[in-house]
Amino acid sequence: MKGQVKLISAMLIFGSIGLFVKNIHLSSSEIALLRGAIGSIFLLALSFLVRQRPSFSVIKENLILLLLSGAALGFNWIFLFEAYRYTTISNSTISYYFAPIIVMVLAPFILKEKLTRIKIVSLLLAMVGLILVVNNGGGSIDGAYNHAVGIIYGLLAATLYASVILMNKFIRNLSGFETTLIQLMMASIVLAPYVYIKEGLDFSGINSQSVILILILGMVHTGVAYFLYFGAIKELKGQTIAVLSYIDPISAVIFSFLFLGEHMGALQIIGGILVLGSTFLSEKEFGLRKKDKT
């Protein structure tokens, strides 16, 4: 039960990210940079407390992959935060959850995994679901949204996150916690010059509300959430993790409705169920095959 509480808490924290990002008065790239920097500092401090620090030799061994995956993680956040600006949190979350489907499509080519019938069905369901979401954007509060652009940003974020998942498959001798810590540092290192060129790294105009929210985003939504997540996966079975992980997108939709007044049309809800259901179906099929092999 302890592991389940940790994972549920982490998923609820992740699910509330959109609420905070929408109220931070900075560009998406600035928010991503600060999230990575604050989160990495927080996790680095925790690594000393839990005595889980990666060795320099192992980091050097995986340096290229850590740098590339860290960069992908950072720009993935930028695209996701842009999605929040152009469309509802519901649309952003559903399109972002296309990442497992992208991994499933690329896995036969990169990981040499077999594309099974269940995975093909999952892909078709996800495509139908995405079409329903795109064609029934809805959820516009004041007509200021451009749902198509927001969903495209969400899919770009999903593509980058899928690349992180695939690159992580080739990282050796590092735990999930250690890998995430280094990737957050790498994301900050890569994003710093990008933000400097694009924005000038001038945070003098930030108001007190945004300062508080960005600190929460970095420490709670990044540091605490990842710490709880990696603590939970050590205690839980893969199928339990897969099922409880869906608290993230479901809570994001509920939070956006309760606190922002966003709503979803009937066809959009069906589309969201198809997208999330397709990822669950593919993960369940993988979990069953893995169980059969043990």
**pLDDT at residue 165, rounded to an integer:** 93
pLDDT at 10 over 80: yes
Of 32-41, 141-150, 278-287, the one with minimum mean pLDDT is 278-287
* Residue in this structure with the two tokens 């952003």, named with its chain if needed: 92
CA distance 90 to 77: 16
Q: How confident is the model at residue 293 (pLDDT cuts 50, 70, 90)?
A: very low
pLDDT at 236 over 70: yes
Identify the CA nearest to 12 among candidates 254, 238, 175, 242: 254
**pLDDT at residue 285, rounded to an integer:** 55
Longest dimension (CA), the chain: 57
**pLDDT at residue 221, rounded to an integer:** 96
DSSP class per residue in the chain: -HHHHHHHHHHHHHHTHHHHHTT--S-HHHHHHHHHHHHHHHHHHHHHHTT----HHHHHHTHHHHHHHHHHHHHHHHHHHHHHHHS-HHHHHHHHTTHHHHHHHHHHHHT-----HHHHHHHHHHHHHHHHHHHT----SSS---HHHHHHHHHHHHHHHHHHHHHHTT--S--HHHHHHHHHHHHHHHHHHHHHHHT-S--TT--HHHHHHHHHHHIIIIIIHHHHHHHHHTTS-HHHHHHHTTHHHHHHHHHHHHHH-----HHHHHHHHHHHHHHHHHHHHHHHHHHHH-
Higher confidence at residue 115 or residue 278? 278
Q: How confident is the model at residue 290 (pLDDT cuts 50, 70, 90)?
A: very low
**pLDDT at residue 291, rounded to an integer:** 39
Show me where the domains of the chain are located. Answer: 2-293
b or e along 102-131 (b: 16 or more beta carbons within 10 Å of the residue's beta carbon)?
Answer: bbbbbbeeeeeeeeeebbeebbebbeebbe
Mean pLDDT of 128-132: 87
Q: How confident is the model at residue 283 (pLDDT cuts 50, 70, 90)?
A: low
The residues, any chain, with a CB within 8 Å of residue 159's CB and separated by 6 or more, are 99, 102
Mean pLDDT of 108-134: 85
**pLDDT at residue 284, rounded to an integer:** 62
